[in-house]
Amino acid sequence: MKAIIIIVGLGLGLFIGIYPGLTKPKPKFIKFFALLIPVFTIFLTLLPPIAGTFEDARIVGQRSPGKMVNVKLTPIPGTVRHVTTIKSLSDDPEDYIITGGYEQFIAFDSQSGKNKVYKLVINNKIIPKELKEGKPLVSLINYNAEKDKYYFNSIVSVDPILTLPYVASLGELVRILNYHVPSAWIAVLAFLISMIFSVQYLRKRDIKYDVISSSAAEVGTVYTIFATVTGMFWAKFNWGSYWNWDPRETSIFVLLLIYGAYFALRSAIEKEDVKARLSAVYSILAFITVPFFVFVLPRITQSLHPGSASESNIGPVLSSQSDMLNTTKQYIFSLSMMSFTIIFLWILNLRIRVGNLKLKINN
Amino acid sequence: MIEFLIKHSIYIVLIIVLIIWAGISFYLYSLDKKISKLEKNIPDIVEGSKPS
């Protein structure tokens, strides 16, 4: 199901992006569409609150005491009452219980896979008014391992329409996934287009295929750099440093070197047809390494990057077991994939048209 | 307004990202326009747009 949603996004992106042709000027509505969809993606990536489960709060609380986790709570109607008197718990003067009623919530329990009823102790004398309204909320919860209790801290969002999954050790950083992964995939797509048109060039010996092939390699390199830079910032806050020669980082660096050599080769040859022929052959050879460096090498080595050999699944985006993408996140990721594809194909289209113009003027 | 933004800093990120995106959109759109104009001035460049 996950794969179908993502493939539909990619397919729609390809269809809208290529229409009415890779080298033809785009109609106005496609441009409008291409600029509008990323706006939705930006909103949907940044605004929904991240919501985990009590199990997440427990794991995080045991690992780093005092750290809080967003948990989605659904109050059971009628259980949240007005405060009448507040009595301190005898064993802990910091905890308060509300006499005359306690707060009951339904929250997802990932261990049993079912919804479970939780009672919360509120360490605040005043019950927030949002809590009394009986709407679902995302609240900051922390787990105290010594007392085996969950503490309700504050309300993050009331009645959220969409929530993003909570991933332990990522937290709010999970939002970068919507920009980092599509840019890496788009780079592969660009190199694939470059390879296909290189083959076309070698078959037909028409210079227009060389323009498409070299433009795709250029835009693909830009996207590879984008994936590397977003990954670097992500690594800084998850792994501790911008660059630590992780297999994934090394493989993308080698990939950048390979395509850097492609441009060095192109700029070294003056004669158009020799340049086109040699760079077409090089592009085909270079693409053979792309699946290896992007999909294979980081998966067979021990790496910090998700989906490496040290993990049981093939990565958060592709694996069917991973909980990094819930249904909402899958649709938003798919939308992001689509907008990245459309924008990429538009930039590629502009680049090819500039290349064609240059060719015409030179002749 | 300012107090709201200080409390919910993700909206500041949202505004900045949208401004950057508006800039990129404007640039892409104007580039497309310029290239289309050039193509019109030098006919028969794009396949099928004008037969020579």
Domain ranges of chain A: 2-48+172-362, 50-160
Q: In terms of pLDDT, which residue wins out, A296 or A80?
A: A296
State whether B46 and A35 contact (CB < 8 Å). no
**Confidence (pTM):** 0.85
Encode pLDDT of A336-360 as tens digits.
999 999 999 999 999 999 999 988 8
**Whole-angstrom Cα distance, residue A115 to residue A106?**
6
Residue A272 token pair: 């158009």
Residue A47 token pair: 């605004």
| Beta strand A137-144 pairing with A114-122 | unpaired
Q: What is the pLDDT of residue A174?
A: 86
Residue A101 has pLDDT above 50, yes or no: no
Confidence label for A153 from pLDDT (cuts 50, 70 and 90):
confident
Overall average pLDDT of the B4-31 stretch: 90
* Chain A residue nearest residue B26, CA to CA: A35
State whether B29 and A35 contact (CB < 8 Å). yes
Distance (Å) from the alpha carbon of A226 to chain B's nearest alpha carbon: 15
Residue A86 has pLDDT above 60, yes or no: no
Q: What is the Cα Rg of chain B in Å?
A: 20
Q: In terms of pLDDT, which residue wins out, B46 or A165?
A: A165
**Whole-angstrom Cα distance, residue A164 to residue A48?**
6
| Beta strand A149-158 pairing with A114-122 | parallel
Q: What percent of chain A has pLDDT over 90?
A: 45
Q: In terms of pLDDT, which residue wins out, A313 or A96?
A: A313
Residues from chain B contacting residue A350 (CB–CB below 8 Å): 28, 31-32, 35
- Is residue B49 domain-resident? no
Give residue A85's identity as a one-letter amino acid code: T
State whether B36 and A360 contact (CB < 8 Å). no
State whether A357 and B45 contact (CB < 8 Å). yes
* A4-43 residues touching B, CB cutoff 8 A: 21, 23-26, 31, 35, 38-39, 42-43
A350 touches chain B (CB under 8 A): yes
- Is residue B48 domain-resident? no
State whether B35 and A347 contact (CB < 8 Å). no
Q: What is the pLDDT of residue A321?
A: 64
| First-to-final CA distance of chain B | 59
- Is residue B45 domain-resident? no
Residue A191 has pLDDT above 70, yes or no: yes
Residue B48 has pLDDT above 70, yes or no: no
| Whole-number average pLDDT of chain B | 82
Identify the CA nearest to A193 among candidates A323, A290, A331, A336: A290
Give residue B16's identity as a one-letter amino acid code: I
A23-32, A50-59, B32-41: which range is least confident on average?
A: A50-59
Residue B43: Cβ within 10 Å count = 12
Q: What is the pLDDT of residue A112?
A: 73
| DSSP-assigned letter for residue A363 | -
Q: What is the pLDDT of residue A125?
A: 58
Distance (Å) from the alpha carbon of A289 to chain B's nearest alpha carbon: 32
Q: What percent of chain A has pLDDT over 70?
A: 85
A73-87, A292-306, A317-331: which range is least confident on average?
A: A73-87
| DSSP-assigned letter for residue A172 | G
Encode pLDDT of A197-256 as tens digits.
999 999 999 999 999 999 999 999 999 999 999 999 999 988 889 998 999 999 999 999
Mutant choice from A353, A354, A363 vs B, greatest count of B C-beta within 10 A: A353
Tell me which residue in A208, A346, A357 faces B38 most closely, judged by beta carbons. Answer: A357
Query: Please, is A141 exposed, middle or buried when counting C-beta atoms within 10 Å of its C-beta (0-12, 13-18, 19+)?
Result: buried
Q: Which domain holds residue B25?
A: 2-39
Q: What is the pLDDT of residue B52?
A: 44
Residues from chain B contacting residue A27 (CB–CB below 8 Å): none
Residue A84 has pLDDT above 50, yes or no: no
Q: In terms of pLDDT, which residue wins out, A315 or A28?
A: A28
- Is residue B33 domain-resident? yes
Residue B45 has pLDDT above 70, yes or no: no
Q: What is the pLDDT of residue A85?
A: 45
Confidence label for A182 from pLDDT (cuts 50, 70 and 90):
very high
Q: What is the pLDDT of residue A58?
A: 84
Q: What is the pLDDT of residue A155?
A: 82
Q: What is the pLDDT of residue A98?
A: 41
Our measurement of the distance from residue B34's CA atom to the centroid of its chain's CA atoms, rounded to an integer in Å, reads 13
A356 touches chain B (CB under 8 A): yes
Q: What is the pLDDT of residue A92?
A: 53
Q: How many domains does chain B have?
A: 1
Residues from chain A contacting residue B30 (CB–CB below 8 Å): none
Overall average pLDDT of the B8-32 stretch: 92
Most confident of A16-30, A291-305, A334-348: A334-348
Residue owning tokens 């289209």: A349
Our measurement of the distance from residue A341's CA atom to the centroid of its chain's CA atoms, rounded to an integer in Å, reads 14
Residue owning tokens 């059971």: A76
Overall average pLDDT of the A30-49 stretch: 92
- Is residue B52 domain-resident? no
